Amino acid sequence: MSIVLDFNGKNLAKSKTMDLHYLPAKIDGDGEANVEQYFNNYTREATECGNGILTNSLRGYPLVGEQLKVPEQYRGLVLQETEKSINKSIDRQLRLTGVFEEFTYWNYDKVPSNGDAYRQALLMADVGQALTQHISEQDLEAEIARNKENTKEHA
Amino acid sequence: MSDQEDIEIKQENQTVHDTDEKDKKHEDGDIKDTCRISSLKTLGPFIAAKENSRNTVYLSDVPDICKDKPCMLGVDEAGRGPVLGPMVYGISYCPLDSKKALEDLGCADSKQLTEEKRDVIFNDINTKEYATSCIGWAVEIISPNTISTSMYRRSKCSLNEVSMDSAMGLIQQAIDAGVNIAEVYVDTVGPPEKYQEKLLKRFPSFKITVAKKADSTYPIVSAASICAKVTRDHALKVWKFPEGLVIKDNAFGSGYPGDPVTKRFLADHIDLVFGFPRLVRFSWSTAENALADKAYDMEFDEPDTDKPKYAGTKLTKFFKGTTKSGEVIRDECRFFKQRHLGNVMDF
């Protein structure tokens, strides 16, 4: 089984930019939502908590959040699958419904910090970078030379 | 040449604009001014001009006599039980020897008074010279949004705490405004002793009386109660839904969970994702139950209640890590685990 991303990477710039919220809740539903009237209408700045800190609430639960950019050199994509086949051997197809450069990150009654799972998980970007970086012959030799140098010093 | 023309036209426009504004001010009189409440008529516009998802505090002018003579101050609330709309805390104060003015106003148990009678008394408090010269008042409108978010905080804040904080905040504001307070009378729903203790701690120099049904016993509490009740009623009347709902005459009933009109309002205005408009107190079980059946299930990351207790390294730890056949089970690398990163083959 494979997953097909059904869009042309060159057209990303022309795609619709979306207004997204990262919510600290699991919502057991899928569909349209009156985000503008029921939520965005109530977003307020809470400068007393820090620069750029926002407040709102969801079903009465207090939220504290901030506007975040996707990591540098990354692009935010919203993909949708019309129908997930029960048959696992059939190829899956994901369509592009929008792109985003930033989104609003929300915590449940907690000012966003480096302790947030989201911020910690972003380290994946660095790990990915390290794993995929091209290493040339010269880089390798330089590294070996450095290691030798170190062992000598310690000896 | 053309420059001059331009200027002339501008000036003309300016004057036209000016007269327009003057006319408007003249027509609407004091209603246009939404910063002060000077009569019953100005209460609605004042509330309507504020954000209804936040709390609003209003203090009347302090009569000069209240700054000199020792005063009594009454505290009461309105709209504690309803699932809809704000809860309003009210205080009123007057010199100890101005009881006559309270009696003339007809301040008695506010629940015994009709809505019309309360409106009349509220208007009198703000317009009649014999009242404005010696009686001052203040209210805090605690928005339903604030009530929900306080009660749903990670460390829950009960409605009683919200209430007491509001009451003490209002008293403090009266002190700051220069009111010479000597005696404080508070109406309470819960046990009076705890409340009294807390108030005495914060305001040790006052004679403080906390009692059930104080609004029928003490006219000054009754006056506070009227201010609170009238404010709550008007807050509901002028409620505008940022959600864009329009309800004819804002007819959503008393807001009490038993009221059939309120029940129907709740049943008819459920949003699958967001639940209710923020007129509703989400933290009321009536609201919770209504959503449990009709809206999407929603689960928040709740505070960790049972913290793992560390009791030293377990002996059995050393037998873990291999299966019976001797295969080594590899734990996920801690570095990745702590950062919530893991392998995903299927999603």
Q: Is residue A142 part of a domain?
A: no
pLDDT of residue B312: 65
């008074």: which residue's tokens?
B113
Residues in A touching B340 (Cβ below 8 Å): 117, 120-121
Mean confidence (pLDDT) of chain B: 85
Query: Does position B155 have pLDDT exceeding 90, yes or no?
Result: no
**Residue from the list B153, B274, B300 with its beta carbon closest to the beta carbon of A38:** B274
Q: Could you give the CA distance from residue A65 to residue A108 in angstroms, rounded to a whole number?
A: 9
Instruction: Please indicate, yes or no, if residue A58 is contained in any of the structural domains.
Output: yes
For residues A43 and A45, give the distance between their C-alpha atoms in angstroms, rounded to a whole number.
Answer: 7
Span of A19-23, B128-132, B311-315 with lowest mean pLDDT:
B311-315
- Of B230, B224, B174, nearest to B203 (Cα)? B174
Instruction: Say whether A59 and B243 touch across the interface (CB within 8 A).
Output: no
Tokens of A15: 């795609």
Give the pLDDT mean for B205-223: 92
The answer to whether B55 and B88 are in contact (CB under 8 A) is no
**3 state DSSP class of B310:** coil
CA A35 to centroid of chain Cα atoms: 20
CB distance from B294 to chain A under 8 Å? no
Residue-number span of the structural domain to which A78 is assigned: 3-113
For the packed helices B144-151 and B159-176, what is the interaxial angle rounded to 10 degrees?
120
The answer on whether B76 is annotated among ligand-binding residues is: yes
Phi, psi (rounded to 5 degrees) for A115? -80, -10
Q: What pTM does this model have? A: 0.81
Residue A22 lies inside a defined structural domain of this protein: yes
pLDDT classification of B10: cutoffs 50, 70, 90: very low
CA dist., res. A83 & res. B75, Å (int): 60
**A24 has a pLDDT exceeding 70:** yes
Contacts 24+ apart (CB under 8 A), B46-53: B47/B141, B47/B231, B47/B234, B47/B235, B47/B238, B48/B238, B48/B240, B50/B141, B52/B86, B52/B143, B52/B145, B52/B235, B52/B239, B52/B240, B52/B242, B52/B278, B52/B279, B53/A42, B53/B143, B53/B145, B53/B146, B53/B242, B53/B278
Instruction: Give the separation between CA B213 and CA B229, rounded to whole angstroms.
Output: 15
Query: In the structure encoding, which two tokens stand for residue B301, read together?
Result: 């990351």
CA-wise closest residue to B253 among B267, B268, B236? B236
Distance of CA B119 to the CA centre of its chain: 20
Question: Residue B81 CA to chain centroid, in angstroms?
Answer: 13
Is the pLDDT confidence value at B53 over 90? Answer: yes
Q: Give the residue carrying structure tokens 């959040």.
A: A65
CB of A66 closer than 8 Å to CB of A54:
yes
Indicate which CATH number applies to the domain containing A27: 2.40.128.680
What whole-number distance in Å separates Cα of residue B143 and Cα of residue B255?
Answer: 14
Looking at CA atoms only, how far is residue A155 from chain B in angstroms?
30
- CB pair distance less than 8 Å for A25 and B299: yes
Provide mean pLDDT across the span B87-99.
Answer: 95
On whether the CB atoms of residues B155 and B78 are closer than 8 A, the answer is no
User: Do the domain assignments include residue A131?
Assistant: no
Question: How confident is the model over A83-123, as pLDDT tens digits?
Answer: 766 777 777 888 888 899 999 999 999 999 998 989 988 88
> Is B187 assigned a ligand-binding role in the annotation?
yes
Task: Check residues B244 and B5 and name the one with the higher pLDDT.
Answer: B244
Nearest CA in chain A to B300: A25
User: Would the CB atoms of A26 and B298 count as touching at under 8 Å?
Assistant: yes
Tell me the C-alpha distance between A56 and B145, whole Å.
9
Share of chain B above pLDDT 70, in %: 81
Q: Does residue A154 form part of some domain?
A: no
pLDDT tens, residue by residue, A44-89: 999 888 899 999 999 999 999 999 999 888 889 998 887 766 777 7
For residue A14, tell me if it sits in a domain: yes
Task: Report the domain count for chain A.
Answer: 1
- The per-residue pLDDT for range B279-297, each reduced to its tens digit, is 999 999 999 999 998 999 9
Beta-carbon separation of B275 and A110 below 8 A: no
Domain limits, chain B: 37-237, 248-294
CA distance B158 to B194: 14
B-chain residues near A57 (CB < 8 A): 145, 148-149, 152, 278
> Which of the four pLDDT bands, split at 50, 70 and 90, describes residue B340?
confident
Q: How far apart are CA B319 and CA B313, in angstroms?
A: 12
Is the predicted pLDDT of residue B303 greater than 80, yes or no? Answer: no
CATH class, range B248-294: mainly alpha
- What is the per-residue pLDDT across B14-39, written as a single tens digit (0 to 9) for each? 444 444 444 444 444 444 567 889 99
Within 13 Å and on the Cβ side, how many CA atoms surround B259? Answer: 14
Strand, helix or coil at B37? coil
pLDDT average, residue stretch B131-143: 96
The CATH class, in words, for B37-237 is alpha beta
What's the confidence (pLDDT) of residue B329?
A: 66
Cβ burial of B70 (10 Å; 0-12, 13-18, 19+) is middle
Measured CA distances, B338 to B124, B172, B310, B327 (Å): 65, 47, 19, 25
Q: Which among B153, B272, B291 has CB closest to A31?
A: B272
Q: How far is CA B23 from CA B8, B9, B27, B29, in A?
A: 23, 21, 6, 10
Q: What are phi and psi of B225, to 5 degrees?
A: -65, -40
pLDDT at A108: 94
Cβ distance of A28 and B296 shorter than 8 Å: yes
Which DSSP letter does residue B126 get?
H
Say whether pLDDT at B318 is over 70: no
